[in-house]
Amino acid sequence: MLSASVFNKIISKTHNKVIGVAKNYVPQTSDIVYNRIKNPYFFFKPNSSILDATESNPKPIKIDSEGDVIPEIELGFMISKTGKHIKEDEWQSYVGGYFLAMDITDAKVLQKEPMNLAFCKGQDSFTPIGKLLLPKDVEDPHDLTLKLEVNGSPRIEGKTGEMIYSVSKMIRMLSIYMTLEQGDMILTGSPISAGRVKPGDQVKAQMFAEDDLLDEFSLNVEVL
């Protein structure tokens, strides 16, 4: 039984958020479901969806045996201090670091219920995250290259400079409607759709600053 003390502790505690943005790049795909979305918009992902991709033997992406998933590669950033109504020219003081991430989407659920992002994107292991890169190690977050391979074959290569909402704009927009708290993580969207992957596949994500590899990780896709 949940005691009153536990309940009070939960509701009085600061809870960090994982925020994603859909359609933050000009679409370069013929995917009918993806192209139903006309403008960028934000959504939440539960912390239980996070998969630590920095481990030497990371856990796999787990999916239903009857379905497949859409792997998206993204730049993420972490909020360094709590703020509300943050001005766009103050954005750098609110970024504590950057990281390579993936946003996994259940293709079967997306096709049936395209607006039910909690089910599409919130499943366990659907937010793989790489190591934290300090701001001093990322000269310009809008001049990075994101690459994703499936079974050794290139699927995505995109530039963060092609984002519709920049990091500064996302911070300003989000902080109008909610307090951004220290430790919140924000994903900035994927350049293009990578198509589908299924159990038995392996995905590899990489992030570059020009020719310098900033981070990479590989994950297997397995059945629940």
Q: Decide the pairing of beta strands 202-209 and 145-150.
A: antiparallel
Does the residue 48 lie in any domain?
yes
Sheet with 153-159: strands ordered across = 61-63, 212-223, 202-209, 145-150, 153-159
Report, as an integer, the average pLDDT of 202-214: 97
Report, as an integer, the average pLDDT of 154-161: 94
**What pLDDT score was predicted for residue 210?**
94
| DSSP structural state of residue 163 | B
Does the residue 162 lie in any domain?
yes
**What pLDDT score was predicted for residue 23?**
86
Across 65-74, 91-100, 155-164, 205-214, least confident range = 65-74
Report, as an integer, the average pLDDT of 190-201: 89
Beta-carbon count within 10 A of 207 CB? 25
Does the residue 1 lie in any domain?
no
* Confidence band of 183 (pLDDT split at 50, 70, 90): very high
> Which one is predicted more confidently, 205 or 32?
205
**What pLDDT score was predicted for residue 27?**
64
Does the residue 9 lie in any domain?
no
Please classify residue 195 by burial: count the beta carbons closer than 10 Å to its beta carbon, then call 0-12 exposed, 13-18 middle and 19+ buried. Answer: middle
Sign of CA dihedral 212, 61, 33, 101: negative
Residue 108 scores a pLDDT above 60: yes
**What pLDDT score was predicted for residue 34?**
53
The Cα–Cα gap between 214 and 39 comes to 30
CATH no. for residue 171? 3.90.850.10
The Cα–Cα gap between 79 and 100 comes to 15
**What pLDDT score was predicted for residue 40?**
84
The Cα–Cα gap between 102 and 190 comes to 8
Does the residue 41 lie in any domain?
yes
Does the residue 40 lie in any domain?
yes
Domain count within the chain: 1
Q: How do residues 24-61 score in pLDDT, each as one tens digit?
A: 987 655 555 555 556 788 999 999 999 999 998 999 99
Across 3-7, 105-109, 136-140, 182-186, least confident range = 3-7
Does the residue 202 lie in any domain?
yes
Q: Residue 167 is part of which domain span? A: 15-223
Does the residue 115 lie in any domain?
yes
